[in-house]
Chains A and B, each alone.
Chain A
Amino acid sequence: MSSNSAGGLVSLQKSVKQLRFEAGIRRIKVSQAAAELKAFCLQNAHKDPLLMGVPSSDNPFRPPKSCALF
């Protein structure tokens, strides 16, 4: 019984220590976080092939229409 309590105590002490750490972190305002998330998406949109579409000439997964034999 006493060893169970000791195990439970150690576990609780670790949880409290971890919670203390997490409570103490620095947090930025959501407005700033949201602005930067949105800015990143918009600034990189033109480089996002799945978003912009891939022209067949540049698509490595599409076979070329014509086949040149030398």
Chain B
Amino acid sequence: MGEMEQLRKEAESLKDEITAARKAVQDLTLQDHVAGTAVVGRVQLKIRKTLRGHLAKIYALHWGTDSKLCVSASQDGKLIVWDSCTTNKVHAIPLKSSWVMTCSYAPSGNMVACGGLDNMCSIYNLKGKDGNVKVMHELAAHTGYLSCCRFLNDNEIITSSGDCTCVLWDIETGSQKTVFAGHLGDCMSLAVAPDFNTFISGACDYTAKLWDIRDGQCRQTFGGHESDINAIGFFPNGNAVITGSDDASCKLYDLRSDQELITYQDSSIMCGVTSIAPSFSGRLILAGYDDFNCNIWDSLKAERVGVLSGHDNRVSCIGVTPDGMACCTGSWDSFLKIWN
């Protein structure tokens, strides 16, 4: 087995090479650079709306591009599309499988998607002729649960799965255009870059990977977390990635210098991070935790500057409107709350 041993040695030496290359560009740390910047003042957001209607744990939410409508998924077997300003339910869609773990709103507003323990991604047309919302497509091929899905456009969607892969689908034909394989653990979350050329995935192998959507190549892998990465997002300028993990910390990885720049953690926080979202400028990072709260971090100074307490159970999902005007939290307590 000489060749295997040789390859193992080469792998180790390449890992050392990557570590050295990252260190070689570390002429300054982010902390050094922002030493003179003041921490932002205390951020106190108030609950403006409570969206009531789900009858069981909420697992996912996603804002529409108009910053008014949002979709939520609950294990009561429903997807609800809400008008967040009036709190009216625009659509209440019954699901074939109630074990839903993720939902997504298409950028066009024409469709929503969801999936979970059924291992499928179901696409629903919101703009059908007779006004009824029906299943338009069922994308089946994953051999594990669907943990996250995000539309690129009305005909393409990316999914992440407990089978350790992510997939780019052609919705019309139901076929897998590209399979992104490489993670060694369940893929838990994904986020698409603002320019739609790349996406990032967080997994139970404790790493985040950056993928080229068109050629399927994994371009970069980021480690450092000491447990599953449950949540992932892009910094608004597309040059950095934020992650939330079961190790109770969030991290910011810079893509162009290929390394972790900062960790958001506090000795008083001992529970996992379930969800994460940046504010419009990226200066604030909002993260949902297992302890029923959401912490607001100053992204540059890594200090906690606010807390959102209002849920009676785990905060499972969070999202900031595309226009930055408000943040929505979804919880196992069955409620969604809008804050600003």
Contacts and interface: CB of A to CB of B under 8 A. Distances in A.
Interface in B235-262: 235-237, 239-240, 254, 256-259, 261
A28 B256 contact: yes
Contacts of B28: 29-31, 34
Chain A interface, DSSP helix/strand/loop, else mixed: helix
Chain A interface bracket (under 10, 10 to 19, 20 to 34, 35 or more): 35 or more
Given A33-B239, A50-B280, A38 B37 contact: yes
Given A12-B7, A30-B259, A31-B33, A22 B27 contact: no
B191 to A, nearest CB: 17
Among A23, A28, A61: residue with most chain B CB under 10 A: A61
B10 interface: yes
Interface in A23-66: 23, 25, 27-38, 40-45, 47-51, 54, 59-62
A47 B237 CA distance: 14
B219 A25 contact: yes
A41 B7 contact: no
Contacts of B326: 49-50, 60-61
Contacts of B15: 19
A45 B17 contact: no
A22 to B, nearest CB: 6
B45 interface: yes
B40 A51 contact: yes
Given A27-B22, A50-B326, 6 more contacts: A12-B7, A25-B220, A28-B257, A48-B279, A50-B325, A61-B326
Per CB-CB distance, the 8 closest pairs between chain A and chain B, nearest first, are: A44-B281, A61-B48, A48-B281, A19-B14, A34-B33, A31-B28, A33-B257, A41-B283
